[in-house]
Structure 1
Amino acid sequence: MTAPDAAVRTLDLHFQGVPGVIAASVFETGDGLAVVDVGPGSTLPELESGLASLGASLADVRHVFLTHIHLDHAGATGTILDRVPGARAYVHERGAAHLSRPGRLLASAAQIYGGEMDRLWGEMRPVEPGRLTVLAGGETLRVGRLEVRPLYTPGHAVHHLAYHAGDDLFVGDVGGIRLSERQTPRAPTPPPDIDLPAWRESVAALRGLGARTLHLAHFGASPDSADHWDGLLASLDVDAARVREGLERGQDAEELTGAFTRALLDELRGQDPELPGRYEFACPPWMSVQGLVRYWTRAAARGRATGDGG
């Protein structure tokens, strides 16, 4: 595949004023700039500032590649496309409706965040369907002078894509959260789509591509190494087991969330004392607990239905 003409740049979106939590990746295609995961509407000014630091502006953006339609990754998309008539967005076919008709997504988020929605996430405008390139995964896209290959990578979200361009692999959330070099990558597991076997299959597909650099939305560039993927899978197993064991002990939601949060933050603190505070902005532990509780509850129901016993 053709590599990007210039190095991929990581733009820090300073979510809620905190550095190193949410990133957008930017590179030149020969047909304008591409941005992978533009972030929420609340951080659009920071995206504009980051582009200005590169001598560019939103008007130079032609391609918005979205790994999935969660607010911290895709919320600003509609506003950007409204302001840049020549730009278009790329999205998995199972996520396209969330962009063109975001009402259901926003209503669901409002049940969680209530009056904090605007402060945290800002505006999410709908995208005209004609401005979307809808993908299944496995295509080869010709974007300017580049070849970009979207890859279907469920596990974190049922509509998750990664994008492979030469030595660069943009992994969204399926590649985990890694906020410093000393941190073991950690899987964000919010509801509703967590699927542990699918996540492991996605990792197996991605680690075999031979890329040199992983670009993480949380946060920045990391070498594509066995250590990264092995650490991610190990931490996913640990977190999933903690929640399963808590459920088996009959812990209620408060007890389960408290125990999980303490264990997770203690581990992060041991790797880097600054990690716990930043990690809670990138992925609140209570959300990871909710996603894993939903996964194990559904798995148990399937087991009862099939006679497997969970």
Structure 2
Amino acid sequence: MGHLKPGANLIDLHFLGTPGTIASYVFDTVDGLALVDTGPSTTLPALETGLAALGASLDDVRHVLLTHIHFDHAGAAGSILARVPGARAYVHERGARHLANPERLLASATQIYGDQMERLWGGMTPIDPARLTVLRGGEVLPFGGVPDGVAVHDTPGHAVHHIAYHAGDDLYVGDVGGVRLDLRQSARPPTPPPDIDLDAWASSIALLRTLDARHLHLAHFGSYPQDAAHWDALERNTRTDAARVAERLAAGQPLDEITRAFTAELQTELDAEGAGLSERFALSCPPWMSVQGLARYFQRQAVRGEQS
């Protein structure tokens, strides 16, 4: 089909006009294209442009594989299904109801982003539940042309409804594989609210390390070798980020002070890894959101400790 190569084909969604921040991936099956994560509604034109460059179009898509339902990964899913009657979406069971009825998701996001909501993400079209394949992890999707099918893995930590897809040499890991914008940068954890779980994330990493794949595909951003160095760096940076927030919370610092210090430290480290990384990283993974997610995690841990 056109310029589509075997296996994963990256489409840069040029979020807010910036290259290298959000990616979708597409691969061929016997009965049409499989699209891994759609991006938000605001980047749907870029997705169409990317498909056209591969000699394809939205009409060729039959399988929309969602790693999780955050807007930067699934926002355009309903719009795509509305335009392509033959397509269906695949999603974790804990995210399915939000795709069928996204009002609560939209309201929650609007509280966070306010009047920037439309500019950043746009809307989210509901999906008929009959067009959702609900996943728990452990399934193998028997897509034609994909030897051994597409294995589905439950990979919580970044979100309770996060899954990864393993197709031959290709491992699509959404956000649980971290944010890594190019080879110079070590993988770092995106930790937005509401349901960061560092223990679950560690278990997911332990699972993903064992999978027999050659290529690791990140939504933010790009494809890398599936090797220990990637996962080691992600675990190391997760420990560092968590400690910075936990120690300051324990010292009684207010969240705005913690955010300023965290952001400055992160920018310094990213700039040391490569010029221009910190600006693109802030678009892919805003530091203030990572602080909020970690703070919420530690506050929940404290409450559980008091109750036990």
Matches within 5 A, 1:57-206: 57-146=57-146, 147-206=149-208
Counterpart of 1:29 in structure 2 is 29
What is the TM-score of this pair, normalised by structure 2? 0.97
Paired residues of 1:155 and 1:198 also in contact (CA < 8 A) = yes
Q: Check whether the contact 1:169–1:213 (CA below 8 A) recurs between aligned residues.
A: yes
How far the C-alpha of 1:5 sits from its partner, in A, is 7.7
Confirm or deny: 8 A CA contact 2:7 2:170 kept in the other structure.
no
TM-score, normalised with respect to structure 1: 0.97
Distance (Å, rounded) in 2 between the aligned partners of 1:34 and 1:109: 27
The residue number in structure 1 matching 2:6 is 6
Instruction: Output the amino acid matched with 2:90.
Output: Y
Q: Which residue of 2 aligns with 1:227?
A: 229
Q: Please, which of 212, 221, 232 is the counterpart of residue 214 of structure 2?
A: 212
Distance in 2 (CA, whole Å) between partners of 1:209 and 1:9 is 20
Which among 288, 303, 306 is matched to residue 305 of structure 2? Answer: 303
SS for the counterpart of 2:186 is coil
- CA shift, 1:123, in A, is 1.9
Divergent runs of 4+, >3 A: none
Q: In structure 1, what is the equivalent of residue 55 of structure 2?
A: 55
Conserved 8 A contact 2:21-2:283? yes
* TM-aligned CA deviation for residue 61 of structure 1: 0.4
Counterpart amino acid of residue 218 in structure 2: L
Mapped contact 2:157–2:202 kept (Cα < 8 A)? yes
Q: State how far apart, in whole Å, the 2-side matches of 1:69 and 1:176 are.
A: 16
Could you say what secondary structure the match of 1:35 adopts?
Answer: strand
Runs of at least 5 residues in structure 1 that lack an aligned partner in the other structure: none
Q: Distance in 1 between matches of 2:166 and 2:281?
A: 26
Residue 253 in structure 1 maps to residue 255 in structure 2? yes
Q: How many residues in Structure 1 have an aligned counterpart in Structure 2?
A: 303
Separation in 2, partners of 1:245, 1:32: 50
Residue deviations 1:29-48, cap 9 Å, x none? Answer: 11101110010000000000
Contact 2:36–2:65 (CA<8 Å) still a contact in 1? yes
Offset of residue 266 of structure 1 = 0.6
Q: CA deviation at 1:210?
A: 1.7
Checking the alignment, whether the CA contact within 8 Å between 1:5 and 1:29 is kept in structure 2 is: no
Task: Specify the SS of the correspondent of 1:27.
Answer: strand
Equivalent position SS for 1:85: coil
| 8 Å contact kept, 2:182–2:222 | no
CA distance in 2, matches of 1:210, 1:265: 34
How large is the Cα RMSD of the aligned pairs? 1.0
- How far is the alpha carbon of 1:145 from its aligned partner? 2.3
1: distance between equivalents of 2:143 and 2:15?
A: 29
Task: Give the counterpart letter for 2:269 in structure 1.
Answer: E
Q: CA deviation at 1:7?
A: 3.1
Deviations 1:224-257 (A, max 9, x none): 0100000000000000000000101111011000
- Deviations 1:136-158 (CA, angstroms, capped at 9, x unpaired): 10011101222001100000000
Partner SS state of residue 159, structure 2? coil
The runs of 5 or more residues in structure 2 that have no matched partner are none
Q: Distance in 2 between matches of 1:13 and 1:219?
A: 10
Q: Cα deviations across residues 73-120 of structure 1 (Å, max 9, x unaligned)?
A: 000000000000000000000000110000000000000111111111
